[in-house]
Structure 1
Amino acid sequence: MTIHVEIPDPLAAKVTEAARTQGTSPAEIVLEAVTRTLDPLADLRELMAPVYPRMEKLGITEDEAVEDFERIKHELRYERKTARS
């Protein structure tokens, strides 16, 4: 499917510059932006994909997993802090 969209020159310049610095094409930059807009949680779901089966196996919810992550994060920070003292 083809959709033609007019992009104002200042925005087109930003798209072109982003593509240049990221080593990709302007079309890829635009497609990525549209994808993120239509599905802003896609990156999170992709990141969490390996975790979901483990959560299911343990019988825990996302909220419980987040609480566990936070608890462990704070424990690790405390260990690092006390190791430096």
Structure 2
Amino acid sequence: MTIHNNSSKKKMILQAASSIVRDQGVEHLTLEAVAKAPGVSKGGLLYHFPNKEQLVSGMVDELTRNFTKDVQSHVEQDKQQAGK
């Protein structure tokens, strides 16, 4: 159960960080701003991402995973075999 909660909290943190970058720009990406957005403590944020570099790395990893899943989904739905 804890693993699920940690995983979903981590996902919420990454979504909050992505929203800040998208809506306000990367210059507004601070650990304080990211912690405030999903309502976690800064300590809670630091538990998942000990520094800003790891937070950004987590954002890139999440973006890459989502992109890969999206492409794979399109490939699986494509009715034409050529080009898959």
Please state which band the TM-score falls in when normalised by the shorter chain.
0.3 to 0.5
TM-score, structure 1 normalization: 0.33
TM-score, structure 2 normalization: 0.33
Larger-gyration structure (1/2) = 1
